């Protein structure tokens, strides 16, 4: 027992020393990385190879030896004729935008667009697979401006929506010369919303004062802690109406076929209804559209991956762990509540 106690004491000291060394090394790495600019890298994958591999894998599983040989012979003959005909296939540059409330994916999108515009011509095409329920006005305004660069360069832009493109998401989508939607994707929500709590009466009940000092009549219209006035509410509503008007004009500029006053009510529609209202041009999934284009063009998927610092990687890992923990406990609470 004495030996075991000594061994456990030695083990505890060793672990403590190792942990201390790791903490020091991580701290040094974080300090060195602080303030340093992290350069990303553009990743390019040819999607034709992906579709070809799927096709070949299915052929190998389904066809017998003679059929497989005949199929390979036919494919080789078609490739030979295509090569003999000469000329270059048009290029399709495929981008992805998975939007959160801050449109954080804009940081990648801007670099991807800059890269493709250095080569793309009017004979090529850009396809954006867009998923977003909207978010901050200025954030989605910038994301939309990035897509407008493609239109201004004269390069055809197609937007594919499989799940949702609403509010700021539709603001981005409307810039496409062609909008393709899955039958049950959610579209629209051309409106503006703002909300905030006000705890002034609660503070007043407990004799707590909260002072708001401003220079400028409308520097602060509505507040969380202060007493809101009818004049402040009217100004806040006026600002919302102005933003909504700008939103409507922006959509009408790129989709003049829309009856803008009828659809800019903040409502949303599924793809089937959105087609009737001309919010979209065609009902089709992005998989179907890209598989068809792969037969006629060379498809290149662009993804700008930014190299994250150690501090960012540690923070991201911690964030993911906390999210998983929260989801696990939320799931358990829901089960306890409903079951």
Catalytic residue of the set 34, 65, 219, 295: 219
Q: Of these residues, 167, 189, 286, 309, which one is catalytic?
A: 167
Residues 145 and 256: their CA atoms lie apart, in Å, by 18
Angle at 304 between CA 299 and CA 309, to 5 degrees: 155
Q: By C-alpha distance, which of 89, 92, 104 is closest to 178?
A: 92
Is 167 labeled as catalytic in the residue annotation?
Answer: yes
- Cα(273)–Cα(278) distance, integer angstroms: 9
CB-CB contact of 156 with 91 (8 Å): no
End-to-end, the C-alpha distance of the chain in Å comes to 50
Q: Which helix (H) or strand (E) holds 128?
A: strand 125-131
Q: What is the residue whose two structure tokens read 């501090």?
A: 311
Q: Give the closest residue to 43 by CA, choosing from 92, 108, 91.
A: 108
Write the CA distances from 120 to 94, 153, 240, integer angstroms: 12, 9, 38
Helix (DSSP H) and strand (DSSP E) numbers for the chain: 12, 10
Q: What angle do CA 156, 162, 168 make, to 5 degrees?
A: 70
Interatomic CA distance for residues 146 and 153, integer angstroms: 11
Q: Which residues are catalytic?
A: 167, 219
């Amino acid at each position: 027992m004495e030996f075991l106690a000594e061994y456990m004491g030695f083990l505890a000291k060793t672990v403590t020393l190792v942990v201390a060394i790791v903490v020091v090394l991580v701290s040094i790495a974080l300090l060195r990385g602080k303030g340093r600019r992290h350069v990303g890298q553009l990743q390019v994958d040819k999607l034709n190879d992906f579709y070809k591999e799927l096709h070949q894998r299915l052929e190998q599983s389904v066809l017998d030896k003679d059929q497989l040989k005949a199929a390979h012979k036919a494919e080789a003959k078609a490739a030979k004729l295509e090569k003999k005909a000469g000329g270059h296939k048009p290029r399709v540059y495929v981008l992805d935008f998975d939007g959160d409330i801050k449109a954080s994916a804009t940081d990648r999108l801007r670099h991807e667009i800059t890269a493709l515009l250095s080569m793309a011509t009017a004979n090529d095409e850009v396809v954006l697979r867009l998923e977003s329920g909207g978010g901050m006005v200025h954030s989605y305004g910038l994301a939309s401006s990035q897509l407008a660069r493609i239109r201004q360069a004269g390069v055809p832009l197609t937007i594919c929506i499989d799940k949702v493109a609403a509010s700021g998401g539709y603001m981005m989508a409307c810039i496409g010369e062609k909008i393709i939607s899955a039958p049950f994707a959610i579209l629209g929500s051309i409106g503006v919303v703002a909300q905030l709590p006000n705890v002034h009466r609660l503070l007043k009940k407990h004799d707590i004062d909260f002072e708001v000092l401003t220079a400028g009549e409308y520097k602060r219209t509505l507040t969380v802690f202060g007493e809101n006035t009818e004049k402040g509410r009217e100004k806040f509503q006026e600002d919302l109406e102005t933003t909504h008007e700008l939103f409507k004009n922006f959509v009408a500029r790129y989709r003049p076929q829309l009856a803008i006053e009828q659809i800019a009510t903040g409502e949303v529609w599924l793809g089937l209804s959105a087609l009737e209202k001309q919010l979209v041009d065609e009902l089709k999934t992005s998989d179907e559209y890209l598989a068809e284009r792969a037969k006629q063009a060379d498809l290149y998927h662009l993804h700008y991956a930014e190299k994250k610092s150690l501090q960012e990687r540690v923070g991201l890992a911690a964030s993911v762990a906390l999210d998983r923990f929260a989801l696990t406990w939320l799931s358990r609470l829901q089960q306890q509540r409903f079951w």
